[in-house]
Structure 1
Amino acid sequence: MSEAFFLLPDTRSVLALTGADRAAFLQGLITNDTAKLSPERAIYAAFLTPQGKYLHDFSIAVLKDADGEERYLLDVEAARRADLLKRLSMYRLRSKVALADVGGDFAVAILYGADVPATLGLPAEPGVTKAFGNGVVFTDPRLAALGARAILPRAEAAAWLSNAGLKQGELTAYDRLRLGLGVPESGRDLIPDKSILLESGFDELNAVDWQKGCYMGQELTARTKYRGLVRKRLLPVKIEGAAPETGTPVMAGDKDIGEIRSHSADGTIGLAMLRLEALDALRQGGTVTLQAGNATLTPLLPDWVRLPEAESATG
């Protein structure tokens, strides 16, 4: 039986950016390099406050229309898309760009399962993109293990995906996959005006280009990296006992070393922001046991996560 599934969640929506200046316009605002974008390559990026705190994150894919015109399609959090559209529009000034909410016309599809790459003819390389069903499909630009994404005309999306051999999936199954891999989700694990990118894995998840020119929030982001200022990391935790609510303090003995962000529907796996000083044994391949409410937590270290050396985290 094929292990290739699709979801069309109402938690995701689409913004469109067109115009001759679209690449230059975004280049000064987002954390990744728009020079990487093409009909064959999607990217993941964030939009920050001037102080370098998280505001929005999104994937960007390029759709080439029948007449050869290209537009950027942004896979965004549906609940906060109006805020992102407003913030981007503030910087448009005289740039030759047009911004639009096209969520009524386009849908974001989440594609997961071991057979997704073979079913869609995609390599296990983040961001690789191809035309599909009057839209685009691309390997998740954050992490290939997450599967793929598609941006498709809303009215045709389910039919195209079903005809390609994918089956309707379960959001709880994808959520367990994402949480187990330790990948944060906007609206649940990332806090606007508070979260710091490098504490949430955005460097390893291909969201930050360190060679590009200036962008909003770059100074704090660069300082955090080059001065070794990362003190906490968002990591998956195995949960035993009653699943703690979001914001519940995580304790190492009598010391508060973090907080719960989100967990799976069955309460067995979650994400927690943890101080690195409590994770020395984990860095060395051992096990750490923590508490949150009445639950016991065991932090996990996905293979994509790069923790700083102990002296950098504590010094």
Structure 2
Amino acid sequence: MALDLRIFTEPQQGASYDTQLAVAKATEQLGFSAFFRSDHYLAMGGDGLPGPTDSWTTLAGLARDTDTVRLGTLVSSATFRHPGVLAIQVAQVDQMSGGRVELGLGTGWFAAEHAAYGIPFPEKRFGILTEQLEILTGLWGTPVGETFDFDGTHYTIQDSPALPKPAQEQVPIIVGGGGPRRTPALAARFATEYNQSFPQIEEIGPRIGVIEQALSDAGRAPGSLTQSVALVLAVGADEAEFTRRAAAIGREPAELREHGVAGTVSEAVDRLASLRDQGVQRVYLQVLDLQDLDHLDLVAREVAPQL
């Protein structure tokens, strides 16, 4: 089976809508299956100019400005939006895209971005995430003409018409995280995909085993959850080009080779083939230099066909 390759961006580091659109269009034209972005409001190093862009506002624009590429977040923070609002936003963007949206949702972790924009950041957030997933799937799954109610610890929904509905019968939901028990159980309950973000390479295979056990415990069929990883991308046609791309994102070549999809074309192919052999079905290639569209072209022309 061919490995599914997606492009994953970090626009909080500094990217206008037009820059993101250029990357999304290149992603589509070059044959990658999806354009994903992080959901953050504060740069992690650097000035972040021109400033953050909201992920679902951005994806709404991309829904109209692209044609075929899938669009999503890796991952939205449950602290940012009330679940009823998020359900409306995602359903509307899915309609605007003709059914191309996927939702990655997590607990949130970056306290500083909450402080910077006045967003509450409770110490315990797993229950919030769980209830949001219950509400999102409940609202979207309520038949038209019926209503949805929910009485939880964190949220109460009363007599909701549960509208609008997404274009897709089921919006794919991505859950990630490294917890030993609760996160795998949550993924088995709600998700269509489980993502490992920037894991140690040697831990990827064992973690897939943990998730498969969680599926069995939940009564789901083995292999019914897409297994994905997100890894930094830095590939060159030769060593000099790779070194230049590493320098452009402020990373050391040796470190990139250890932790990412990095090095020469043959090294990138070997890393991705190894991931596939461990049971990975989808890889989100984290592109940090959004001006370097030749990077995407190289991967599409030289790496992807070998997988």
- Specify which structure has the higher proportion of helix: 2
Q: Give the alignment's TM-score, normalised by structure 1.
A: 0.28
Q: Give the alignment's TM-score, normalised by structure 2.
A: 0.28
